[in-house]
Amino acid sequence: QAVREPDAFLARARAEAETYQAPQAAAPVKADGQKRIVAITACPTGVAHTFMAAEAIESEAKKRGWWVKVETRGSVGAGNAITPEEVAAADLVIVAADIEVDLDKFAGKPMYRTSTGLALKKTAQELDKALAEAEVFQPQQRGGAAPAAKKKEGNGPYRHLLTGVSYMLPMVVAGGLCIALSFVFGIKAFEVKGTLAAALMQIGGGSAFALMVPVLAGFIAFSIADRPGLTPGLIGGMLAVSTGAGFLGGIIAGFLAGYVAKAISSKLRLPQSMEALKPILIIPLVASLITGLIMIYVVGTPVAKIMEGLTHWLQSLGTANAVLL
C-alpha cells in the first residue's frame, strides 16, 4: 500500500500514529526482602567447577530464604534450563562463567558477572556484591561497535583462550583414548594395515588429534567475534598445522582471526541491501584471506622454528637431565 498509494498511506499514518513510550529499564535490586534470582555457571571443561559453583550458589541463596534456579552450561550442554517466565520474574541474574556464554535471553535484567572460582570460594561475598553492583544487561548489537563495559575478572584474552580450550578438550580426550585402545593390541600393532589397531590409530591420531589445533583456533576466534570469526579461525588453525607452527601458531591464528573479523564487522558499513552478505560472504572471505596470508608469510615460519627448537631442546635433555625434567 505504501508503494501503490503513498499519499493515502502517509495520511493514514498521521491519523493513527500513537505516542511512543520507551520501555522502562529494570528496577535496581533491593537488598532487603525475599529475592528471586537465576544464575548461569560455566567453566572451560564444563565438569567440576560448573556444578560445584552452581551448588554453592543454590545453597547460599536458600540460606537467605531466596528463590533460586541455576542453569549449568556443562560439557553436555545446558542443564536445568531457565525458562522465559523465570527470567521475567527474576530480580537478579548472576553469571559465574570462565568462558563466553549466550546471555541474550537476560536482556534488560539486572546482572552481575563473576568467575566460577569466586562463586565457589566466596559465595556469600559474591551474592552481596551482586545485590550492590548489578547492572542492567544489554546485549551487544551484531555488526556494531560494542558498548564500553566495566572490566570484570576473567574478561579479555584469557577468557577467549579458555573458550577455545574448552571446545578442544573433548577432542583431546577422545583421540587419546582411541590411541590408547590401539596400544592394547601391541605398541606397534597399528602399523599393520587393515587391523582394528590401525583403525583406532587412524581415528585418534589421524583424525581427532589433527583437528585439535584448528578447533582451538576456531573457537578462540568464535569467542572474540561470534560466528563470523569461526571460519577464519578454523582456516588459520589448519595453516598453523600445515606450516608446523603447532599449538602456539594455533593460538596466534585464533586471536588474529577473531580480532580481524570483529574489526571488519564493526567498521565496515554497507548499504542495507548488502548487509546480509557480511556474515556469510564478506567477513569470512576477507578475514580468512588476511589471517591466511599473515600465517603463511609472517607467522608460520618463525613460530615453526621456535616450536622445532623447543622440541629439539626437550629431546636433547634425555635421561641425563631427569632431575631438571
Residues annotated as part of the active site: 43
Identify the H or E element spanning 41: strand 36-42
Q: Are the beta carbons of 219 and 237 closer than 8 angstroms?
A: no
Short-list 29, 45, 55, 40, CA closest to 121: 55
Our CA angle for 144, 147, 153, nearest 5°, is: 125
Short-list 63, 104, 56, CA closest to 226: 104
Q: What's the burial of 195, exposed, middle or buried (CB within 10 Å: 0-12/13-18/19+)?
A: middle
Cβ-count burial 92-129 (b if 16+ within 10 Å, e if not): bbbbbbbbbeebeebeebbbbbbbbbbbbeebeebbee
Q: Which residue has the cell 553436555?
A: 76
Q: How far apart are CA 264 and CA 266, in angstroms?
A: 6
Q: Residue 152 gets which letter from DSSP?
A: -
Report the C-alpha dihedral over residues 280, 262, 77, 96, rounded to 10 degrees: -160
Short-list 265, 271, 269, 267, CA closest to 287: 265
Q: Are the beta carbons of 182 and 190 closer than 8 angstroms?
A: yes
| Strand ranges across the sheet with 110-114 | 77-79, 67-74, 36-42, 92-97, 110-114, 135-136
Q: Kindly give the pairing relationship between strand 36-42 and strand 67-74.
A: parallel
